[in-house]
Chain A
Amino acid sequence: MASLRHAASNQLRARVIRRHGRDNLPVSINRRRIYILPTRFGFMLGAILIAMLVAGLNYNSNLALAFTFLMSSMALVTMHHCNRNMLRLTVDATTEVDAFAGREALLEFELRNGSRVDRRDIEVRCLSAAGMGSVAAGESTTIEVIAPVAQRGVTRISQFELRTRYPFGWFYSWTYVQGSILIYVAPAPRGNRGLPSGAAHGGGSHSEARGDEDFSGLRAYEPGVPLKHMAWKVLARGGEPVVRSYSSLAAQPEWLDWSMLEGLDTEARLSQLCLWVVESDAAQRPYGLRIPGKELAPSGGAAHRFACLRALAAFGTGAT
């Protein structure tokens, strides 16, 4: 039964792609793409309703029939409500997501409800994980799906599913959204080699310890610099935004280089480089990344960090 349902679901997914093509997010869910079926509970209710009908007919009891028809009609109304719970919702998603292999990716989906009714218990399913949330009338909400990612690489999600069993769990309606989400799965940050700068300066811990202490002058502000390094007094006096520079920041930028890691296999090298990126970023030291086919000039800040991690994730996958 379960495998049959699974096969049918796969068939349907393929057909949906053929029929609707790709979606450009955000997407408004129209009625033609909402499917609905009874749940197992719904089938049980159906069986009970048939038993009620037979009993009512057999005892020739018009009141029992009235009750049966009322329950059946309520089931039909519920079907409409279940369908409506999804209808004309607007779905958006964060299209680029970063994660480390072996950990979880946090996928964010935004549901906007422009109608006058609350939409309750909407489940978003993606990568065999699910998140659930409700959207009040006229509002919007973000549903988080936390999906474990095992493999380094760039995972492209081309389809995710919205599902709801509201109101009574007798029916579930669902829809597939052909939205494209890229998950950059960086290698797991792992390795036992010290930062290359540590080798040059005599110990990473030493350089880190000095990092924030030795003030060495001011330089122009650039995005991504930690706020605590801002020279607020200069700014307050009406000057240009400048940043206090410390000896470590001012130090020679480090190149995190693929070629430094001779003797390790590809994934181990990538993991080690990833660890270095994370450590360098944490230490707020400028760093550059050099891997075969890609070179990122030394810099600092969140944007640079993501660029480096994505380069590591995409290495050897053909994606850029």
Chain B
Amino acid sequence: MTPERVSYDQLLGISGCLGLALLAHVTTLPLWVPAIVVACGLIRLGLARSGRGAPPGRVLVVIALLVTPLLFVRFHTFNGLVAGTALLSVAAGLKLLETKTQRDIYIVTLIVYFVSLAALLEGDSFWLLAYLIGVCWLTTATLLRLTSGGPAPGWRRSLRYGGRVLAQALPLTLVFWLLFPRFAGPLWQIPNDSQVTASGLGDTMSPGDITQLALSDEVAFRVRFDAASPPNRERYWRGPVLDYFDGHTWSHSPTSDTTVAALQPQGPAYKYTVMMEPHRHRWIFMLDWPSSWNLPRAELNSDYTLMQPEPLSRPVDVVGTSYTQVQAIEALTPKIRNRDLRLPRNRNPRTQQLAQELRSAHADDLEYAQAVLAMFRQQAFFYTLTPPKLSDDSVDEFLFDTRRGFCGHYASAFATLLRAAGIPARVITGYQGGTLNPYGDYWILRQSDAHAWTEAWIEGRGWVRIDPTAAIAPERVERGLADVASADESLASPWQRKSLWFSGVRLRFDAVKQLWRERILDFDQDSQRKLLEMLNIPEPDGQKLVMVLAAAMGLVLGWLTWQVRRELSPRSKDETARAFARLCAKLAAAGIARLPHEDAEAYARRVARLRPDLGAVVTHLCRQYSFLRYSAPSTGVTLGQFQAAVRAFRPKASGVS
């Protein structure tokens, strides 16, 4: 390895590759990191352009000393993914700046490969993978030009060669990917530095909060039921349970009580997989009353919301079982009862009075609840996406003045009325319904499916789900929000009203995305086990997997050896004949077909006579053909040249003959 000085051309190539790899990080890295790298690259290129070498070492030391603390201030660690990528990127920039020999560039190529990989640790789209494979291809082609001993081969040639190596690597890649043993969990805990911002439902609810979500078609999660899906009126996905009301906003009061009340499930059990999108909250949306789940570190809180130890920063799949109806076994603890009866004093006085009046007519809890729902149904309550703003006594104002509201308003008012009558009640936020994707047989729950409902404690039965919004606008529960909203007021975004085929395309697209997630992103131990079962291997385990991997690798490597060495066999004369046949075909298309008895020379003479404009070229080509066909190898012209000449030969059809 002779330390050769690098040229401008080589630097330009590798700087381009580094830039393209960094482009995949642009959304996660702080902007000044790629800016530093680009500046380094430009300075080095400028120096190389004017024929100067790398700046002295102390300049680099100064830059490194300046940038490293800056990075640390920004991230507080170098252990995390983004911080590590930032550090690596800066290192690549500095390496580029100090590049003197080819060996320095080799190191930059390795960094480019690793930076590309880091992008895949964060992102998960097909396009990202395709883009980074493209970057890898380009980098490898650049490397071919760098390592070449003589004059560097042209870009086209290098790309073709790199593409060929890439293509030959694909079968082996597939074998590795399918059969390389996967571990169940991470090797060590990953620092959580993902930049995903919190989205979706929060852990408080003020009037109008959910209205904002109603217009978002962002996917919150997807669900696939193992067997039949529960009916629409049963598909309530439990999120944060809100028990504290200050008269305007509902929130979750921190309790020390973490005991999970035992329940007697009723009705069918539903087994399903929830595929959560990252939302930066700790909760996971499970069907109403979850009884089992496969996340070892997640736990139910006392309100039956499934909580993760830390916020969800990457997509998570949960296999769970739930019931939609339960029967309490134990009585409500006094602590919870007090919590769920509390109302702010001196707030919403008219509501309190209304509750007293209704309560005196309906002593039974359920009857009382029915009476309130009947009031919503019979009186002039409207369901709208654009409710008027409410002041501090929000429930009073809503029940007696505006009477226009969204699910949050109804849930809030209903829970207040129940509590005022001495019935423990709370507001549940979550999602309801969802859209079935017929192309993938799973449910999509978008932010627009966000919902709020109530649960009331009925003595002898336990918590009973009551959805007051269903009383005012039954279609709201029976069908999706989009339909109701557009029927009511056309606030929904234009796509929601577009023709059916458009939503069909959307669903198809989502189904492909889902397939990508389930088949590729979620490929795991279990999938490998199923794969081995498909290969008729009994009782698949890790050891058998490795054996299959070894066997498959042997096969593919054998294929590769054959594939690579196949090209070593000498060129047959047939190729010469084939090239000549192509020439004849071209001439035939131009109007002069070769007669069966004509040899190359005679044919050339005839062409020259009929088409003087082509004469010289054709005579030359026919002579080359005779050379290749009948004289000893390696005289005069090569087959490659002849083939190229035939390929370049384009006779114009003409009426001269």
Question: Is B113 in contact with chain A by the CB < 8 A criterion?
Answer: yes
Give the interface segment out of B164-172, B280-288, B393-401, B599-607. B164-172
Query: Per-residue 0/1 for B276-310: is the Cβ within 8 Å of any A Cβ (1 yes, 0 no)?
Result: 00000000000000000000000000000000000
Question: Is B120 in contact with chain A by the CB < 8 A criterion?
Answer: yes
Which single member of A54, A64, A121, A138 contacts B633 (CB below 8 Å)?
A138
Smallest CB separation, A136 vs chain B (Å): 7
Q: A58-B188, A80-B561 are in contact. Are A137 and B571 (CB under 8 A)?
A: yes
State whether B567 touches A66 (Cβ < 8 A): no
State whether A61 touches B124 (Cβ < 8 A): yes
Query: Per-residue 0/1 for B477-506: is the Cβ within 8 Å of any A Cβ (1 yes, 0 no)?
Result: 000000000000000000000000000000
Q: A44-B107, A84-B565, A137-B571 are in contact. Are A76 and B169 (CB under 8 A)?
A: yes
Smallest CB separation, B92 vs chain A (Å): 13
Give the interface segment out of A5-13, A162-170, A185-193, A198-206. A162-170
Question: Is B260 in contact with chain A by the CB < 8 A criterion?
Answer: no
Q: A57-B182, A74-B169 are in contact. Are A169 and B106 (CB under 8 A)?
A: yes
Question: Is A63 in contact with chain B by the CB < 8 A criterion?
Answer: yes
State whether B571 touches A73 (Cβ < 8 A): no
Which single member of A48, A57, A71, A132 contacts B136 (CB below 8 Å)?
A71
- Taken together as a complex, chains A and B put the C-alpha atoms of A58 and B80 apart, in Å, by 12
Give the interface segment out of A112-120, A217-225, A296-304. A112-120
Smallest CB separation, A128 vs chain B (Å): 14
Residue of A nearest to B570 (CB): A114
Give the number of residue pairs across the A-B interface with Cβ within 8 Å: 182
In chain B, residues 93-150, which have Cβ atoms closer than 8 Å to a Cβ of chain A?
A: 103, 106-107, 110, 113-114, 116-118, 120-121, 123-124, 128-129, 132-133, 136, 140, 143-144, 146-150
- Taken together as a complex, chains A and B put the C-alpha atoms of A117 and B114 apart, in Å, by 32
State whether B106 touches A48 (Cβ < 8 A): no
On chain A, the residues within 8 Å of B32 by CB distance are: none
- Taken together as a complex, chains A and B put the C-alpha atoms of A80 and B165 apart, in Å, by 10
State whether B117 touches A134 (Cβ < 8 A): no
On chain B, the residues within 8 Å of A132 by CB distance are: 149-150
Total count of chain A residues near the partner, CB < 8 A: 58
Q: A166-B147, A169-B143 are in contact. Are A76 and B188 (CB under 8 A)?
A: no
State whether B149 touches A73 (Cβ < 8 A): no
On chain A, the residues within 8 Å of B136 by CB distance are: 67, 70-71
- Taken together as a complex, chains A and B put the C-alpha atoms of A39 and B1 apart, in Å, by 9
On chain A, the residues within 8 Å of B114 by CB distance are: 48, 51-52
Give the interface segment out of B441-449, B634-642, B644-652. B634-642
Query: Per-residue 0/1 for A45-56: is the Cβ within 8 Å of any B Cβ (1 yes, 0 no)?
Result: 100100110111
State whether A115 touches B567 (Cβ < 8 A): yes
Which single member of A77, A138, A139 contacts B168 (CB below 8 Å)?
A77
Question: Is B70 in contact with chain A by the CB < 8 A criterion?
Answer: no
Question: Is B569 in contact with chain A by the CB < 8 A criterion?
Answer: yes
State whether B129 touches A67 (Cβ < 8 A): yes
On chain B, the residues within 8 Å of A56 by CB distance are: 117, 120-121
On chain A, the residues within 8 Å of B520 by CB distance are: 62-63, 66
On chain B, the residues within 8 Å of A59 by CB distance are: 81, 121, 186, 190
State whether B173 touches A66 (Cβ < 8 A): yes
Smallest CB separation, B629 vs chain A (Å): 14
Residue of B nearest to A119 (CB): B568
Q: A58-B187, A136-B638, A169-B143 are in contact. Are A73 and B172 (CB under 8 A)?
A: yes
Question: Is A207 in contact with chain B by the CB < 8 A criterion?
Answer: no
Query: Per-residue 0/1 for A119-142: is the Cβ within 8 Å of any B Cβ (1 yes, 0 no)?
Result: 011010000000011101111100
- Taken together as a complex, chains A and B put the C-alpha atoms of A123 and B149 apart, in Å, by 9
On chain A, the residues within 8 Å of B173 by CB distance are: 66, 69-70, 72-73
On chain A, the residues within 8 Å of B113 by CB distance are: 45, 48, 52, 71
Which single member of A55, A57, A165 contacts B117 (CB below 8 Å)?
A55
- Taken together as a complex, chains A and B put the C-alpha atoms of A58 and B183 apart, in Å, by 9
Question: Is A88 in contact with chain B by the CB < 8 A criterion?
Answer: yes
Q: A58-B186, A140-B634 are in contact. Are A48 and B567 (CB under 8 A)?
A: no
Question: Is B585 in contact with chain A by the CB < 8 A criterion?
Answer: no
On chain A, the residues within 8 Å of B186 by CB distance are: 57-60
On chain B, the residues within 8 Å of A138 by CB distance are: 570-571, 633-634, 638-640
Question: Is B177 in contact with chain A by the CB < 8 A criterion?
Answer: yes
- Taken together as a complex, chains A and B put the C-alpha atoms of A87 and B570 apart, in Å, by 12
Smallest CB separation, B322 vs chain A (Å): 26
State whether A121 touches B148 (Cβ < 8 A): yes
Question: Is A65 in contact with chain B by the CB < 8 A criterion?
Answer: yes
Question: Is A68 in contact with chain B by the CB < 8 A criterion?
Answer: yes
On chain B, the residues within 8 Å of A139 by CB distance are: 634, 638
Q: A41-B106, A59-B121 are in contact. Are A167 and B144 (CB under 8 A)?
A: yes
On chain B, the residues within 8 Å of A39 by CB distance are: 1
On chain A, the residues within 8 Å of B565 by CB distance are: 84, 87
Smallest CB separation, B367 vs chain A (Å): 53
Question: Is B439 in contact with chain A by the CB < 8 A criterion?
Answer: no
Question: Is B270 in contact with chain A by the CB < 8 A criterion?
Answer: no
State whether A62 touches B633 (Cβ < 8 A): no
Question: Is A244 in contact with chain B by the CB < 8 A criterion?
Answer: no
On chain A, the residues within 8 Å of B166 by CB distance are: 70, 74
State whether A84 touches B150 (Cβ < 8 A): no
State whether B149 touches A81 (Cβ < 8 A): no
On chain A, the residues within 8 Å of B147 by CB distance are: 121, 165-169
Residue of B nearest to A88 (CB): B568
Smallest CB separation, A50 vs chain B (Å): 11
State whether B523 touches A62 (Cβ < 8 A): yes
Most chain B CB neighbours (cut-off 10 Å) among A65, A73, A88: A73
- Taken together as a complex, chains A and B put the C-alpha atoms of A67 and B136 apart, in Å, by 9
Question: Is B564 in contact with chain A by the CB < 8 A criterion?
Answer: yes
Residue of B nearest to A138 (CB): B638
On chain B, the residues within 8 Å of A58 by CB distance are: 186-188, 190
On chain A, the residues within 8 Å of B521 by CB distance are: 62-63
On chain B, the residues within 8 Å of A88 by CB distance are: 568
- Taken together as a complex, chains A and B put the C-alpha atoms of A18 and B309 apart, in Å, by 67
Q: A76-B560, A136-B638 are in contact. Are A168 and B144 (CB under 8 A)?
A: yes
On chain B, the residues within 8 Å of A134 by CB distance are: 149-150
Question: Is B161 in contact with chain A by the CB < 8 A criterion?
Answer: yes
Residue of A nearest to B149 (CB): A121
On chain A, the residues within 8 Å of B144 by CB distance are: 167-168
State whether B560 touches A70 (Cβ < 8 A): no
State whether A81 touches B132 (Cβ < 8 A): no
On chain B, the residues within 8 Å of A40 by CB distance are: 1
State whether B571 touches A67 (Cβ < 8 A): no
State whether B183 touches A57 (Cβ < 8 A): yes
- Taken together as a complex, chains A and B put the C-alpha atoms of A78 and B169 apart, in Å, by 9
Question: Is B155 in contact with chain A by the CB < 8 A criterion?
Answer: no
State whether B180 touches A67 (Cβ < 8 A): no
On chain B, the residues within 8 Å of A52 by CB distance are: 113-114, 117
Query: Per-residue 0/1 for B520-533: is the Cβ within 8 Å of any A Cβ (1 yes, 0 no)?
Result: 11111000000000
In chain A, residues 63-119, which have Cβ atoms closer than 8 Å to a Cβ of chain B?
A: 63-74, 76-78, 80-81, 83-84, 87-88, 114-117
Which single member of A55, A116, A169 contacts B568 (CB below 8 Å)?
A116
- Taken together as a complex, chains A and B put the C-alpha atoms of A302 and B107 apart, in Å, by 53
Most chain B CB neighbours (cut-off 10 Å) among A84, A88, A138: A138
Residue of B nearest to A87 (CB): B568
Question: Is B176 in contact with chain A by the CB < 8 A criterion?
Answer: yes
Question: Is B557 in contact with chain A by the CB < 8 A criterion?
Answer: yes
Q: A72-B176, A80-B564 are in contact. Are A54 and B148 (CB under 8 A)?
A: no
On chain A, the residues within 8 Å of B132 by CB distance are: 67
With A62-B523, A120-B149, A167-B144 known, 15 other A-B pairs at CB within 8 A are A40-B1, A54-B187, A55-B118, A55-B121, A56-B121, A60-B524, A62-B522, A63-B124, A76-B169, A77-B169, A133-B150, A136-B640, A138-B638, A166-B147, A168-B140
Which 3 residue pairs of A and B lie closest in terms of their CB atoms, listed nearest first? A73-B169, A121-B149, A73-B172
15 contacts between A and B (CB under 8 A): A60-B183, A60-B524, A61-B120, A63-B521, A70-B133, A71-B136, A72-B176, A77-B564, A137-B571, A138-B633, A138-B640, A139-B634, A140-B634, A165-B147, A169-B1
